[in-house]
A and B are shown apart, each in its own frame.
Chain A
């Protein structure tokens, strides 16, 4: 059996596992992202590559050490450097003497993307089984996104700080190990109950913060130093409606209504999708402002052109406080904590 792996990107490994197994591969999850991943990636990537590439490279190197032969990323052709990820990663791995092959998945509207699918064998497998595993994957994703949403709502009210995060980790495990569609269908209530069981104190004022920025950095909490969770613990409700895996997939093919609305709202300021989440960063920040939110946190990786464009435009058009956080392999956690804390203080003082 050929061994296949994907990068860590929030819960992507959990979600895609059933599909790859259905296709007859052995799925190797990359080790949980750690300092080691980032170090390995940063060591072998070009210094000025954007930070996500370094992290993905780290994952690929570690996964190939675990035996992965096929490495799959979601990708495409741009418009920013993302379009070069596949080929860049392949060249770096080759130079390192790692024999693994990199595959880039995209919507099969172009010939190269169709070719990828046919090599991976998606064309040859039983359609019925594939759809079944696809539905399982989807269900897993929806369940996890529900759990994350609940965690965001409860964190600011936790009596025992950190309990939501622990519950979340538990749920990841349960969902990962459950492969029966019927039982997954029934799990929604179980998840809700688990969160309802957390002790809450409800008598303090809430600040509301919208999170925007580059998708991968926003989702990969080890890279953004747990920004979402920390904001929650500082007493903020974090709205992450701008970013999510499900949204990413549906938004890319124009099926997500909220994304289309955000694009429309951003239109006077940015007319083309400049890569990254740029257009959504602007659109959703404006939406958050209209909703009366207290502030926006904008996360981007160092060296990301599209998000710098977005940041500059946001400074002009968004009238609520924005905190820009830029991460790379040298970012110190203390500095991030200070900024987050100061930002929440500022929002609270404004309310008083």
Chain B
């Protein structure tokens, strides 16, 4: 079994896959600002007695996850997502990934990524845009997709930006648009934002794989298909693709390595302490983070000059 851990800004996903890349166990948890706890909880849920042969971590918190698990490989989320998508849809040309705080597009050819883009600054093309509006409307985000599908004439919601979208949405409500039309409009707006901000000018060719947390939302999927004029394929494990990719990468590196460095599932019960402080030794004022367990420092990061790095 291979273990994959994807630590994003919003969620932590863990999977255990077998030789045939079938998902054996998995967990999807919200980080809620406590990534260490979430990682431990995720591992607890995918814990199993079968031996783990390798561990891969990915996502913006990949370094943290790598320290906790003592991973065999640490990879960026673009490579991980691309590899997983190309496994499930071997001739995939475009991967559209919309997550909670970030989104990306990956262009592939013959199963190999050839171009990519990701957003990090603007929230308008990400899941948090929807979460925010759902909260405003007082409708649980899970119902969003269903409601959007009922709309016959989606409201046109202007919005290159969440702030403008919000005021326009209020305006449309006051004009008497039905809630489903407004929600469908929001979905369209998110898709347009994504296409303008992230996919900007990239050639979107079929087959298209749509993954990430937001892909579960049927309203968005429909809006995306309409906007592109093409069918998109949402894989069964759309939320877990990053973690699956990481596990696949672990499987790949373990070919030339004999034994995994995995710390074992016991880490679920270990205590990890993080300590952060600001180094004042030069005007860079780096924020240094130290992770330790049982009084032993496992890793430090954040220093620009390398002064606080542990020697390996």
Q: A36–B120 Cα gap in the complex (Å)? A: 23
Q: A-facing mask of B127-163, CB < 8 A → 1, else 0?
A: 0000000000000000000000000000000000000
| Docked CA distance A341–B75 (Å) | 8
Given A34-B284, A334-B60, CB of A341 within 8 Å of CB of B76? yes
Q: Is A321 touching B114 in the complex (CB atoms < 8 A)?
A: yes
CB of B118 within 8 Å of the partner chain:
yes
Judging by beta carbons under 8 Å apart, are B283 and A349 in contact?
Answer: no
Within 8 A of A (CB), among B75-130: 75-79, 112-116, 118, 120-121
B276 in contact (CB, < 8 A) = no
Pairwise interchain contact A36-B118, C-beta atoms closer than 8 A: no
Query: Counting CB contacts under 8 A, is A192 at the interface?
Result: no
Once A321-B115, A338-B118, A346-B112 are accepted as A-B contacts, the answer to whether A36 and B76 lie under 8 Å apart by CB is no
User: Least Cβ distance of A6 to chain B in Å?
Assistant: 19
- Give the Cβ gap from A223 to chain B, nearest Cβ, in Å: 13
CA of A315 to CA of B113, assembled, Å: 17
User: Residue of A at shortest CB range from B306?
Assistant: A162
How many angstroms from the CA of A321 to the CA of B106 in the assembled complex?
Answer: 13
Chain A residue nearest to B78 in the complex (CB): A342
Given the interface pairs A37-B283, A338-B77, A342-B78, the reply to whether A330 lies near B118 with Cβ below 8 Å is: no
B206 CB to closest chain A CB, in angstroms? 21
A330 and B122 alpha carbons, distance in the complex (Å):
12
Inter-subunit contact A35/B114 (CB<8 Å): no
| Residues A315 and B201 in contact in the complex (CB < 8 Å), given A332-B120, A339-B118 | yes
Residue among A31, A346, A350 with the most chain B CB within 10 A? Answer: A346
Task: Collect the chain A residues with CB atoms within 8 Å of residue B114's CB.
Answer: 321, 346, 350
Q: Indicate if the CB atoms of B306 and A34 lie closer than 8 Å.
A: no
The 8 Å CB contact of B283, one of A34, A315, A334, is: A34
A345 at the B interface (CB under 8 A): yes
State whether the Cβ of B261 lies closer than 8 Å to any Cβ in chain A.
no
A332 contacts across to B, CB distance below 8 A: 120
Chain B residues, CB < 8 A from A124: none
Interchain CA distance A279-B192 in the complex, whole Å: 33
| Interchain CB contact under 8 A, B284 and A342 | no
Q: Is A197 an interface residue, CB under 8 A from the partner? A: no
Q: Cβ of B167 < 8 Å from any Cβ of A?
A: no
In the complex, whether B282 has a CB less than 8 A from a CB of chain A is yes
A335 within 8 Å of B by Cβ? yes
Measured CB to CB, the closest approach of chain A to B133, in angstroms, equals: 24
**Is B285 part of the binding interface, using a Cβ–Cβ cutoff of 8 Å?**
yes
Distance between Cα atoms of A334 and B77 in the complex (Å): 12
**B116→A346 contact, CB < 8 A:** yes
CB-contact partner of A36 in B116, B121, B285, under 8 A? B285
Interface string of A313-352 (1 = CB under 8 A from B): 0010000010000000010101101110111011001100
Q: How far is the CA of A343 from the CA of B78 in the complex (A)?
A: 9
Chain A count of residues within 8 A CB distance of the other chain = 23
By beta carbon, the residue of chain A nearest B102 is A335
Q: How far is the CB of A127 from chain B (nearest CB, A)?
A: 40
The chain B residue sitting closest to A350, CB to CB, is: B112
- B116 contact set on A, CB distance < 8 A: 342-343, 346
A349 touches B113 (CB 8 A): yes
Which B residues from 43 to 77 make CB contacts under 8 A with A?
Answer: 60, 75-77
Chain A residues near B120: list those with CB within 8 A: 332, 335
CB-contacts of A283-338 with B (<8 A): 315, 321, 330, 332, 334-335, 337-338
Q: Mark A31-54, 1 if CB is under 8 A from B, else 0.
A: 110111100000000000000000
Tell me, rounded to whole Å, the shortest Cβ–Cβ distance linking A39 to chain B: 9
- Measured in the bound complex, the distance between the Cα atoms of B106 and A349 in whole Å is 14
Contacts known (A342-B116, A346-B113, A349-B113); A35 close to B121, Cβ less than 8 A: no
When C-beta atoms are compared, the residue in chain B nearest to A332 turns out to be: B120
Using a CB-CB cutoff of 8 Å, which residues 176-234 of chain A contact chain B? none
Nearest chain-B residue to A169 (Cβ)? B305
Residues of chain B contacted by A343 (CB below 8 angstroms): 116
Give the distance in Å from the alpha carbon of A27 to the alpha carbon of B79 in the complex.
49
C-alpha gap A346/B118 in the complex (Å) = 15
- The 8 Å CB contact of A330, one of B77, B121, B283, is B121
A residues less than 8 Å from B285 (CB atoms) = 34-36
Cα of A262 to Cα of B78 in the assembled complex, Å: 33
Distance, CA A349 to CA B79, complexed state (A): 10
Does A345 contact B201, Cβ atoms closer than 8 Å? Answer: no
B37 shortest CB reach to chain A, Å: 21
Nearest residue (CB) in A for B282 is A34
> Which B residue sits closest to A37, measured CB to CB?
B283
Instruction: State how many angstroms separate the Cβ of A34 from the closest Cβ of chain B.
Output: 4
Please give, as numbers and ranges, the residues of chain B lying within 8 Å of A162 by CB-CB distance: 306
A:6-34 near B, CB below 8 Å: 31-32, 34
Cα-based distance from A335 to B78 in the complex (angstroms): 11
Chain B 258-295 near chain A by CB (<8 Å), digits 1 or 0: 00000000000000000000000011110000000000
- Cα A335 to Cα B116 in complex, Å, equals 13
Q: Are A342 and B306 in contact (CB under 8 A)?
A: no
CA distance A315 to B117 in the complex (A): 14
Inter-subunit contact B283/A342 (CB<8 Å): no
Kindly report which residue of chain B lies nearest to residue A352, judged by CB atoms.
B112
In the complex, residue of chain A having the shortest beta-carbon distance to the beta carbon of B113:
A346
Q: When the two chains form the complex, which single residue of A31, A32, A338 contacts B76, counting CB atoms closer than 8 Å? A: A338
**Contacts A34-B283, A346-B112 given; does A338 touch B60 at CB 8 Å:** yes
5 A–B pairs (Cβ distance < 8 Å), ordered by A: A32-B283, A334-B60, A338-B60, A339-B118, A345-B79
Using CB atoms and an 8 Å cutoff, list the residues of chain A in contact with chain B. 31-32, 34-37, 162, 315, 321, 330, 332, 334-335, 337-339, 341-343, 345-346, 349-350
Q: A338-B76, A345-B79, A349-B112 known; 10 other A-B pairs, CB under 8 Å? A: A34-B284, A332-B120, A335-B120, A337-B76, A338-B77, A338-B78, A341-B79, A345-B76, A346-B114, A350-B112
What 10 A-B pairs come out closest when comparing CB atoms? A342-B78, A34-B283, A36-B283, A335-B120, A341-B76, A345-B79, A34-B284, A338-B76, A342-B76, A346-B113
